[in-house]
Amino acid sequence: MANRAHTKSHRGRRLVPGPDPRVDTLLGMVMALTSEVSMLRERLDAHESLAASGKVPDQDAVDHYQPTEADESRRKQYRDRLIDKVCRPLVASGQQDG
């Protein structure tokens, strides 16, 4: 009774969801890269915050830096702007061709 066709179709892993695997692959690469850019921007932000408070921004200090509420707010703006910028051509392309 539980083995209905609609559940059987979800067995295993789907590799890509869209009609063109190349789009999914490329989007995966772009987003992984964007994630690294975002992380590096936050790491730079930690450097700047440490330096501003007179601390040496060495690797250990940055690795253990706990962002303040003000840091988090600033970083959220960076992230949102970055995602909006990277995804803008995607959305514009969809709107033109949809």
Partner 1 sequence: MATDSQNLKTAYRPTHDEAARQAFVGALKGYVNGSMESQLAAEYDNQLKFDFMEKHGQEPRDRYQGTEAFRHSHLYQLWGSAVYTSQNLMWETVGDTCDRLEPAFEARQAMLAKRPTLGSLELQDDFVPPDPIRHVEIHRQPGGYFGPAGSTDLHRGMHYFGTVELYRNAKGLGDGSVAVGEPSMGRYLLGALQRRFDAIKPRAVLDLGCGPGSQTLAYKEAFPDAEVWGVDLSAPFLRFGHLWAEDQGVAIHFRQANASDTGLPDAKFDLIISHILFHETWDDILPAIMEEAHRLLAPGGIFINGDTPYQPDRLSIPKQVTNHWQVINNGEPFWTRFADTDVKEALIAAGFEASNVFADYDPLGTGEYFIFGGRKGT
Using CB under 8 A as the criterion, which residues of the chain lie in contact with partner 1 when the complex forms?
A: 1-4, 6-14, 16-20, 23-24, 27-28, 31-32, 34-36, 38-39, 42-43, 46, 62-65, 75-76, 79-80, 83-84, 87, 90-91, 93-98
Q: How far is the CB of 64 from partner 1 (least distance, A)?
A: 7
Contact (Cβ atoms closer than 8 angstroms) between residue 56 and residue 4: no
Q: How far is the CB of 4 from partner 1 (least distance, A)?
A: 8
Structure-block tokens of residue 15 = 């590799």
Rounded to whole angstroms, the Cα distance separating 10 from 21 reads 18
Tokens 């003000």, residue located = 70
Looking at residue 20, the DSSP 8-state letter turns out to be -
Q: How far is the CB of 13 from partner 1 (least distance, A)?
A: 6
